[in-house]
Amino acid sequence: MASDDAIKDDPRIPYSLAMVVCDAIYVDPQSGKRSITGVFSQIHSAIAFPITLHAMAVYVALSEWIGTHTLALQLVDMTEEAAPLFRMEAELDYNDPLEVVEIDFRLGGVTFPAPGKYRLQLFAGTSILHERLLIAVPFTEAPSP
């Protein structure tokens, strides 16, 4: 078994087990269990774009994390020609590679400027850990199955 010092000197990139986009995340104060509600991958607008989501959350589960990493979540359009629609960062430190680290991002005021495809990206430093496609569509279009 590796010593604690050896573990701290191994800045292993975390492994993403899950990234779920939803309306809200509730954490039970007694058990610590999470309830994820309103899971989605499409944003439907009954009005004209731009559309702002006043409540949006992202649940992330990571494992095999050793060391300190800057974790970043950002939303970009498919071309990545424009600046990210949002980006948030936090420096986190974990040293138990067997632990599953659960992180809840609670976002408000996320604006989608136009219909189209967007990518939600999770990074540790410059390494991309997970990416999810989000599609913004006018309500007049039938949702895809």
Does the pLDDT value for residue 9 go beyond 60?
A: no
Q: Which amino acid is at 123?
A: F
Confidence at 2, pLDDT banded by 50, 70, 90 = very low
97: Cβ contacts below 8 Å, ≥ 6 apart: 7, 12, 63, 64, 65, 66
Longest Cα separation, the chain: 60
Is residue 71 within 8 Å of residue 130, measured between CB atoms?
no
Tokens of 115: 């219909």
Average pLDDT, the chain: 87
H or E segment and range at residue 43: strand 42-45
99: Cβ contacts below 8 Å, ≥ 6 apart: 63, 65
Does the pLDDT value for residue 98 go beyond 50?
A: yes
Percent of the chain with pLDDT strictly greater than 70:
88
Does the pLDDT value for residue 11 go beyond 80?
A: no
List the domain boundaries for the chain.
Answer: 4-138
- CATH architecture of structural domain 4-138: Sandwich (2.60)
Does the pLDDT value for residue 21 go beyond 60?
A: yes
Of 54, 79, 60, 64, the residue nearest 123 (C-alpha)? 60
Confidence at 16, pLDDT banded by 50, 70, 90 = very high
DSSP state at residue 31: T
Q: What is the pTM of this model?
A: 0.85
91: Cβ contacts below 8 Å, ≥ 6 apart: 68, 69, 70, 71
pLDDT one-digit tens code per residue, 49-90: 899 999 999 999 999 988 888 999 999 998 888 899 999 999
Distance of alpha carbon 133 from alpha carbon 120, whole angstroms: 6
